[in-house]
Amino acid sequence: MSRFDSNSPLAVHVTGLCRSFRGRPALEDIEVQIPVGSVFGLVGLNGAGKTTLIRHLIGAFVAQQGTVRVLGMDPVGDSQSVLRRVGYLTEEDSLPTWMRVGELVDFSRAIYDTWDDVYAAKLMDLFGLSRSDKLSSLSKGLRARAGLLVAIAYRPELLILDEPSSGLDPLARRDILEAIIRTISEEGRTVLFSSHLLDEVDRVCDSIALMRASRIIETTTVDQLQTRYEEIVCRSDTEMPPAIRGVFAWQGDDSEWSGVIDHEVVPETEFVVPAEVKLITRREITLHRWFAARAGTEQSSASELHDDHLQEVTSDVR
Ligand SMILES: Nc1ncnc2c1ncn2[C@@H]1O[C@H](COP(=O)(O)OP(=O)(O)OP(=O)(O)O)[C@@H](O)[C@H]1O
């Protein structure tokens, strides 16, 4: 579903970005490249650093180290130009609730040169909103739709959605948000989408960056995940997961175990299941399983596996 190629210019280019709060790192050595026209997903556990990264992109934080470019500009130095071309919707319910929907629309219309009246009217209809609705008396879901309307009716070149789904009901999420994301990217504009909802990320994103403990530990596509990882299910009469080189993030009990094979650690030609382990199946990895394996705080990352557990496992097998 790619609508861009490797020569596309970058809508977002972050290099070596670091940020600490009172000496505690929130972002470490962040590198992000988002080509124009793509849908980029940002995933990670709570506190991984997603919102802090996004706040740098809208110029709310000054980079302590590294550079941030959005649509070729510095979001702090060129903040007005950046904000006029970027749409931003967060999970926070931050709309001025003393306004009616019509006033919110008129207010936003006055700010953005590119405001599209026809599109705004279409969205209002689609979202089931009317100009006379008081924001304060709307449900959380309808207020989230009003926020989405004013974030996209000026057709921003880059739309940043930071956990936008929390206020939206499942129907709105699937039918409205996903349709909008698709339209935006099909029109050659770019979307950065931070979400806890992996099914949604799976359906709409061209590439996905996984944040863990203030770092981006992997940037991938769903296809690349299938090539690199696989899930293995096996039986072994041990209290501990079986030792198989290249397999990490074991889950299970003392008889049936499921692990993730990392083919960057062990190529297919070298992958061996020890004789005492009964292989039940090998199957494609899901985004959920990959996330659980890589985003967690336990010994689950492939790099950690490389560093220590692999040493143990390798020596056990050989
Ligand atoms: N203004 C701030 N002052 C101090 N610490 C902060 C501030 N903003 C974020 N942090 C800390 O930085 C780290 C990253 O937080 P951030 O909100 O970016 O994570 P997140 O991945 O967006 O999580 P969530 O999904 O819960 O929003 C956390 O440890 C958080 O407590």
Q: How far is the CA of 27 from the centre of ligand 1 (A)?
A: 9
Question: Which pLDDT value is given to residue 63?
Answer: 96
Ligand 1 lined by 44 (C-beta under 6 Å)? yes
Question: pLDDT band at residue 90, thresholds of 50, 70 and 90?
Answer: confident
Q: Give CA–CA dist 106/270, Å, rounded.
A: 64
Q: Give CA–CA dist 186/168, Å, rounded.
A: 23
Own/partner long-range contacts of 217-223 (Cβ < 8 Å, ≥24 apart):
217/294, 217/301, 217/303, 218/294, 219/32, 222/287
Mutating to test ligand 1, I would choose from 50, 166, 196, 197 the residue with most ligand atoms within 8 A of its C-beta, which is: 50
Q: How far is the CA of 52 from the centre of ligand 1 (A)?
A: 6
CATH topology of domain 10-220: Rossmann fold (3.40.50)
286 pLDDT exceeds 80?
yes
Could you tell me where in the chain the CATH 3.40.50.300 domains are found? Answer: 10-220
Question: pLDDT band at residue 120, thresholds of 50, 70 and 90?
Answer: very high
**CA distances for 65 relative to 12, 100, 212, 214, angstroms:** 17, 42, 19, 14
pLDDT tens digits, 92-119: 667 888 999 999 999 999 999 999 999 9
Closest CA to 200 of 218, 186, 215, 180: 180
Own/partner long-range contacts of 76-82 (Cβ < 8 Å, ≥24 apart):
82/58
Q: How far is the CA of 26 from the centre of ligand 1 (A)?
A: 7
Question: pLDDT band at residue 179, thresholds of 50, 70 and 90?
Answer: confident
CA angle 125, 128, 129 (to 5 degrees): 85
Ligand 1 lined by 47 (C-beta under 6 Å)? yes
Sign of the Cα torsion 71, 73, 78, 81 reads negative
Question: Which pLDDT value is given to residue 166?
Answer: 65
Question: Which pLDDT value is given to residue 200?
Answer: 86
Q: What percent of the chain has pLDDT over 90?
A: 63
Ligand 1 lined by 52 (C-beta under 6 Å)? yes
Mutating to test ligand 1, I would choose from 51, 196, 198 the residue with most ligand atoms within 8 A of its C-beta, which is: 51
Name residue 148's amino acid: L
For residues 312 and 145, the model is more confident at 145
Q: How far is the CA of 205 from the centre of ligand 1 (A)?
A: 23
Closest CA to 107 of 79, 131, 74: 131
pLDDT tens digits, 233-267: 999 877 788 889 999 999 987 678 999 999 999 99
